Each structure stands twice: as structure tokens, then as C-alpha cells.
């Protein structure tokens, strides 16, 4: 916009030096101009789209300009001033009148940003002879409106240039506060009526219906959840035996023994057995190997047994106790996990059936789970 201000200054200086004719001059020589086909420019009307707006509102300056035949107009691209800004470049439409002249409907879109009286200042519009503009190459042969910056830069090449002034126009820009607040000052207002006759009752009824429905669904959900929690609290906790049997059933259902590499299957089965056996004695834990657990299981509780599988292995070095088929199944699982044994799916399922039968039979004599 500073560039446009500089351009307007240049135009003013050039107007002072170049014989660009004003309204009074054209009025005095009008008959001679018409006879010689000189260009003529008339501002028929100039008005703002509103006389009162709010800050931040858009408004526009509307011009009606009449061009004599064989004339080209030059309009400022946008307007600048105090309290407003251009909201876009100038817009215009043209129509040809019956006498061959052209009527231009010109619009300057503006936006206000200052409260109070805002003045759109006076500015000039120009016209030149169309043939002269085409000869100098500044406008096309059929142009109605030329480029304003090009005109400013080459005005000395256009002796036929004529100007017309658009008078200043005022608009009142109000703040976002209402006029009553401006007159009496800002004071607290009473609460607005939210339950009166202006209420949208169908929308209110739907809102209430939806709210009651949501409360009903929430109440039923809470009731069912509370009932399930109560049943869970009344039901006895699952025994280690039941937990182990359910885990073996899930293991077979997963089918990891059918993939061709049964190591994961046997690793899981031995872990299930270990967790179950560890419940027999509080001193047994995950830090002990499967072999140590089986030796501890084989030692009879009481009779001087410490429950420590390593002590049991020392006490029975010559003839270690045999906990039965479980120890054999656990040894087989170890050979699959850490050795090269790769049993088929039927052997894997037979292994689980054997382990399951041992667990179903309950803890060995002297142990409790």
C-alpha cells in the first residue's frame, strides 16, 4: 500500500506538470471535445454501501462512471486511508449505452478497523483517448479499463488524459458494545430467561428424553456390573489344580504343537506344571530348575526331608526318588526344549494327557495344593 501511496503522489506531481484537464476545463471546452472526439469521463454517482457498520465489518464504495465513446478509464487498484483497509482489488463491470458511451459499475471492497467516523478520502479516476492509448502500447485496442500503475508510469505519453475527482465519503463505525452501553456505561445485566416462552420446547423435550434414556441405560449397566461383581465375590477362588487344568486345555486349543516346531508347546506345558508344583511348598520357586523341582517332589515330606531339592538330591545320590510319570514327562519336555527331539503332534497331545491325568489325580501324599 505504500507503493500505491507513492504512485498517487507521482500522479499528483505529473498532473501539476502535464496538461491533464479537470472537470471545469472539460466543461468549458465540452463542445470542442465532442466535436474532436476527445475522451470524456463523468462520475455519475458515488456512495458507500452503508452509513453505519460495526468494527471489523466489510463495506464497499460503489461508483457509476460514464465513459465517452473511444475512451479508456484508469482506476486506482485499491483505496487506502485511516481507519479502513482494502479488502481486495477494485472490481468493475461495463455496459454500452444507446449513445455509444460506456457505463462502468465500479466497486472497492473495504474493511473497517477503527471505531468512530471513518472517511474514505477523495481520489481521482482518469480517462484517455483509446486510439492514443493503443498507439503508445499502454492499452489493448478493445480495452475499456487500463492498468493504473502503467498509466502512472507513462502519463507523460498521454496528453489526452482527463481526470475526475471522487468526493470524500464518511461511514460511522460502531464498537461491539451496543449503543446503550456507550450511553450509560457498562453495567451488569440480569440473567437471561432460559425457561420462558422463548424456549424451543420440541428441542427441550428431545433433550430431556435423551437424558432420561441415558440415565436408564447407565442404571441398568451399573446394576448388572454390581451383580456380576457380587457373584464373583461369592464364588470361591479357583484352586491351583483347576488353574493348571484350564491352562493345559487352552494350550492344546491354541495348536502350537501343529506348526512343526513343538518347542513352544513343550515349554508352555512344563511352565504350567512348574507353577502347579510350586504351590506344594512355599520354598519352591521359579529360580529352581525342573529337575530340582522333581527331586524335591520325589522326597517324602516329613521323615527328615527339608523340601530343598538340592538337599534331596544329595541325600538320594545313590537312589534318587522317582515321582512317577510326571518326572518322565518333564524330562521329555526338557529334551524337546533344549535338545534335538521333535515329536509329532500325536506325541505332544499324549504328553499333555499324561500330565493332565497326573494333575487331576491331585497332589501326592503329604502335599497340599
DSSP labels, 68-114: -TTEEEE--S----SSEEESS--EEEEEE-TTS-EEEEEEEEEEE-S
Same domain for 157 and 253: no
Sheet holding 169-174, edge to edge: 52-54, 169-174, 116-120
Cross-strand partners of 60: 109
Is position 13 within any domain? Answer: yes
Nearest Cα to 367, choosing from 238, 274, 279, 236? 279
Co-location of 245 and 145 in the same domain: no
Q: Which pLDDT tens digits describe the chain residue by residue (369 residues)? A: 444 444 444 444 444 444 444 444 443 343 333 334 456 789 989 999 999 999 889 999 999 999 999 999 999 999 988 889 999 999 999 999 999 899 999 999 999 988 989 999 999 999 999 889 888 888 888 889 999 998 999 889 889 889 999 999 999 998 866 555 555 555 666 666 555 556 677 888 888 888 989 999 998 898 888 877 766 665 567 888 889 899 999 999 998 888 878 889 999 999 999 888 888 887 888 888 888 888 887 775 543 334 454 444 433 333 334 457 888 888 888 888 888 889 999 999 999 999 999 988 877 766 765
Q: Is residue 183 part of a domain?
A: no
Residue (of 41, 122, 47) closest to 79 by Cα position: 122
347 by Cβ neighbours in 10 Å (0-12 / 13-18 / 19+) ranks as middle
* Residue 328 grid cell: 518322565
Residue 17 lies in a domain: yes
pTM: 0.43
The angle, 0 to 180 degrees and rounded to 10, between the axes of the packed helices 290-298 and 325-338 is 170
Last residue of a domain, one of 174, 193, 223: 174
**What is the DSSP secondary structure assignment for residue 21, as one 8-state letter?**
B
| Per-position b or e across 105-116, b if 16+ CB within 10 A of its CB | ebebbbbbeebe
Cβ-count burial 306-345 (b if 16+ within 10 Å, e if not): eebbeebbebeeeebbebeebbebbebbbebbeeeeebee
Range of the domain at 285: 240-360
Residue 192 domain flag? no
> Residue 366 domain-assigned?
no
Whether 43 and 159 map to the same domain: the answer is yes
Number of domains in the chain: 2
Q: Are 73 and 67 in contact (CB under 8 A)?
A: yes
In a domain, 157, yes or no: yes
Cα gap 334→349, rounded to integer Å? 16
**What beta strand segments (E) does the chain contain?**
41-48, 52-54, 58-67, 71-74, 84-86, 91-96, 102-112, 116-120, 123-129, 145-146, 162-166, 169-174
In a domain, 187, yes or no: no
In the numeric block, the cell 479537470 is attached to: 22
Amino acid at each position: 500500500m505504500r507503493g500505491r501511496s507513492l504512485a498517487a503522489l507521482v500522479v499528483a506531481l505529473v498532473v501539476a506538470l502535464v496538461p491533464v484537464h479537470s472537470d471545469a476545463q472539460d466543461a468549458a471546452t465540452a463542445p470542442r471535445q465532442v466535436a474532436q472526439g476527445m475522451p470524456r469521463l463523468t462520475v455519475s454517482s458515488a456512495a458507500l454501501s452503508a452509513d453505519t457498520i460495526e468494527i471489523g465489518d466489510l463495506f464497499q464504495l460503489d461508483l457509476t462512471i460514464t465513459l465517452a465513446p473511444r475512451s479508456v478509464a484508469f482506476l486506482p487498484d485499491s483505496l487506502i486511508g485511516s481507519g479502513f483497509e482494502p479488502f481486495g482489488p477494485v472490481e468493475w463491470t461495463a455496459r454500452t449505452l444507446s449513445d455509444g458511451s460506456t457505463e462502468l459499475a465500479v466497486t472497492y471492497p473495504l474493511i473497517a478497523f477503527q471505531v468512530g467516523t471513518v472517511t474514505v478520502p477523495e481520489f481521482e479516476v482518469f480517462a484517455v483517448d483509446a486510439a492514443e492509448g493503443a498507439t503508445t502500447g499502454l492499452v489493448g485496442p478493445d480495452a475499456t479499463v487500463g492498468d493504473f500503475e502503467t498509466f502512472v508510469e507513462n502519463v507523460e505519453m498521454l496528453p489526452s488524459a482527463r481526470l475526475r475527482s471522487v468526493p470524500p465519503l464518511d461511514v460511522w463505525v460502531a464498537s461491539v458494545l451496543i449503543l446503550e452501553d456507550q450511553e450509560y456505561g457498562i453495567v451488569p445485566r440480569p440473567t437471561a430467561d432460559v425457561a420462558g416462552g422463548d424456549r424451543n420446547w420440541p428441542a427441550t423435550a428431545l433433550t430431556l428424553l435423551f437424558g432420561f434414556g441415558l440415565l436408564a441405560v447407565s442404571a441398568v449397566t451399573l446394576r448388572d456390573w454390581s451383580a456380576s461383581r457380587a457373584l464373583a465375590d461369592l464364588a470361591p477362588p479357583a484352586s491351583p489344580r483347576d488353574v493348571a487344568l484350564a491352562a493345559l486345555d487352552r494350550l492344546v486349543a491354541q495348536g502350537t504343537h501343529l506348526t512343526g516346531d513343538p518347542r513352544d508347546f513343550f515349554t508352555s506345558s512344563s511352565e504350567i506344571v512348574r507353577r502347579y508344583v510350586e504351590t506344594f511348598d512355599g520354598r519352591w520357586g521359579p529360580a529352581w530348575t525342573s529337575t530340582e523341582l522333581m527331586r524335591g517332589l520325589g522326597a517324602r515330606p516329613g521323615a527328615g526331608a527339608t523340601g530343598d531339592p538340592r538337599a534331596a538330591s544329595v541325600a538320594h545320590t545313590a537312589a534318587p526318588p522317582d515321582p512317577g510319570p510326571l518326572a518322565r514327562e518333564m524330562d521329555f519336555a526338557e529334551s524337546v526344549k533344549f535338545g534335538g527331539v521333535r515329536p509329532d503332534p500325536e506325541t505332544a497331545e499324549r504328553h499333555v494327557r499324561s500330565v493332565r491325568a497326573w494333575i487331576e489325580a491331585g497332589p501326592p501324599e503329604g502335599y497340599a495344593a
